Structure 1
Amino acid sequence: MYSHMMVGSNDMDRSKKFYDNLFKSVGGREAMVDPKGRLVYVHNDGIFMVTPPIDGAEATCGNGMTIGFAMESPDQADAWHKAGLEAGGTAIEDPPGVRENPGMNLYLAYLRDPDGNKLCALHRMD
């Protein structure tokens, strides 16, 4: 259903440091930079991009929006979370851990990127 996800940034160098660390922590690569200066990450058949707003206005985060990244294990989610904190992210919500839901338990770790976008590492438990 989804083709890609894109967030805005007011500081592309800061965002590159943050997202490079996040993706490298789970086996991805550093960003490719396209001709418009956008950061492009391709990992596990997904595309994630960071851009300065095309309209020239300030980038803002979406209230109520969360971008979820699939993780292979709780350990990978923890490594992702740690990498994000070390690169300028902010821990939010409950600490990383299992959330029990009817019919499915999830391991979740939440961060805000340096521009305030809400991110989640998600591993579906067996």
Structure 2
Amino acid sequence: MFSHVMVGANDIAASQAFYDAALTAIGIPPGRRDPKGRVAYMHGGSFFMLTTPIDGAPACHANGGTIGFRAADPEAIDAWHEPGVAHGGTPCEDPPGWRDSPFGRLYLAYLRDPSGNKVCAMHGPAA
């Protein structure tokens, strides 16, 4: 069901140092940075990610956070996005589409739910 969890961080370097230490202790490889400075950990087909909030505000519980849902293919994501908008969701970030990442190409779509929580549908090598 879930593809990834992303949490906000005000100091990416400090957060990466903590998570690299803590997660490698339980068998998860160290995080990798992408071109936007986010850090991603991959294990068992799932991602845990760190980011500074895109809106420039300080990170807090959920600012910078995303709940990701795994999808079988890009068509399923488009099918997820359309009724989400029709039922009160607000598109955010880039439009649905392919993006390059350190782990390969991903097809992503983002929405804010009616309460403002950011959710994502993802299809790609890890999904």
Give TM-score scaled by structure 1 length. Answer: 0.50
Give the TM-score normalised by the residue count of structure 2.
0.49
